[in-house]
Every structure is written in C-alpha cells, then in structure tokens.
Copies of this chain bind each other. A is one copy, B any other.
Amino acid sequence: MLKQLITTFKNFFPAPEVSAHCDGPCGVYDPASARIAAEAVVSMTKKILELEHPDIGNKSAMIEYHNTLSRFVTIKEEQAQITKDELLILWTDYFKPKHLEQYPDLHDTFWKAAKLCSACKVEVSSQHANELMDAVHKIHDMFWSSKEKDVTWYKAS
C-alpha cells in the first residue's frame, strides 16, 4: 500500500517539476518568523493574565484598563494568526513528499500546531501558549534537520 501511495505521489508531483511546485520561489524559508510571532503570543498572554482590574468607580483607570486589555487581545490574535500563517507556509510550500517519508508525523505536527494557534486566540491560556512555543521549537528542529544545517534555537524575549 505504501508503494502504491508513493506511486500516486510520483504521478501527482512528477519528479523534475517538484521544485517548481514551491510557492515562494525565493527559497528563503526560516521558522524564525513563526518563533517571533509565537513569542509575542506567550508575552501577551502573560501580560493579560497579570493585568489588575481597577476600582470600577475610577473612570480614567477603567478606560486605561480597557484600552490596554483590548489592545493586548488584538495583538495576541494577530500574532497567533501570523504564527499559523508562517507555519502553514512551511507545511504547504517547503515540505515535500520526500520529507513525509522522513517525518511520518509531519501532517499531525502541523495540524496540532495550527490548532494550538487557534486555541491561543480563543483562550487566555499560558499552558497552550507554551505548548505552541514547544510545537514551533519541534518544527524548527525538523526544518533544519531536513536541510542538514545546524541553527541554534534562541528566543528574542
């Protein structure tokens, strides 16, 4: 059955054109884009959880509180979406059928990572934000090992 699958793939993406199927033809892929956005998700989640609700009678403090909370939620939302977009570019454009043999959990890894991006929007959850960061770290390792290049994982924050 595996053989049949491979044949199907080969027919679907005939060998000589494989590279032409990549979307961004520039060949510049770097999971650092997803990592930077995921760090912002972690940071925003933490800051939202730390916000202290002011006294309700304090009008100007209430306005500052809601301005800040509203902005943090929006930034968390946007950065989680960027993380998702950047990960999916790797999944749909960089990784090719040959990688699927090397990383059999490729689809599952990206599906879960994408679902974690959504979870980080819907919730204000440090646990899910950290799991997203771990997922991005795993994809960083997978990506650079596929290129047989050694790039150190670091965080900017």
Contact = CB atoms under 8 A, between A and B. Distances in A.
A130 interface: no
A73 B71 contact: yes
Interface of A: 12-13, 20-30, 32-33, 36, 39-40, 43-44, 47-49, 51, 53, 56, 59-60, 62-64, 66-75, 77, 79, 84, 88, 91-93, 107-108, 111-112, 114-115, 117-119, 121-124, 151-152, 154, 156-157
A67 B73 contact: yes
Contacts of A13: 115
B26 A75 contact: yes
Number of copies: 6
Pairs of residues from A and B, 5 with the lowest C-beta to C-beta distance, nearest first: A23-B118, A107-B107, A30-B156, A92-B114, A26-B43
B40 A28 contact: yes
B36 A32 contact: yes
Given A13-B115, A114-B92, A28 B121 contact: no
Interface centre among A20, A22, A44, A111 (most CB of B within 10 A): A111
Contact of A123 (B20, B26, B115, B154): B20
